[in-house]
Structure 1
């Protein structure tokens, strides 16, 4: 799980695609960025634009600006990094033919799949479940005590508390359903 989180932190959104940068991939594979890029250039036919692209100057500046506190990340970037899409990362395993590369690639592919599932699958929310239970309870009480004149003050107060709680949950749920900000690099 820790490795998935580490990999997930290295996935950026650039040009509306989830990508990993050459320097992060090289670090994970235990090779120099230069060596990774040379292997890719020797097999450039395997990396069309939808597998890999080079960041523009502006994209590189934006990416570096996310790491204001860390000069070590800014240092040593002499050229714009290459970004590998999920397909490009999968192709890297055929170019970097080592046991480490294969193991790391499997972890990266699992991470991409996990991210895709988070986006595609509906979010199970405990607030929704509680809201439904409270609404059922309210409906039951309304059915049992259809006429408020037939109930005592304690029951009336409980009904009011249920109504207030339900309203609060609905307000909270409405605020939770706002669109989430994208994770990673955003133009």
Structure 2
């Protein structure tokens, strides 16, 4: 079965261009999302991944319609490959049902991995330099202030719930518990 996945970022955007690109490919079934590609938890994407079976092929107009970044793209395509499902991106002319298409995708993946490792290396070097110079790095810690202490005391006395204490102090869950751990240790 030939399955097409169509995505635009907003409800008022038009899918006509992507539908036009699919015309010559005898698509049997369409899945369409009208939301941002920032994560892969999109209703129609998940429905398509669940529906597709071994021997099927997923068509997209462009990589960017399926995933916003290379990691998500490679993860989705790996899922498809593990189920015996092919993938074709029309714009980039990649077809994982062929050896050349799989090679192209692996080259993209290798380049992505290389850039990711270089980026982490540069980040580590920057952190090491900051530490050597005695400069702080990272997000500054929220100070334990009076609002926090008041909320903490009420929470410890079981006068309020943890959620109410977090709201009272203006902290999110992880910051709240990190500060609690600091003052209790």
Give TM class, smaller chain: under 0.3
- Which structure carries more helix by proportion? 1
> TM-score under structure 1 normalisation?
0.25
Q: Which has the larger radius of gyration?
A: 1
Superposition TM-score, scaled by structure 2 size: 0.26
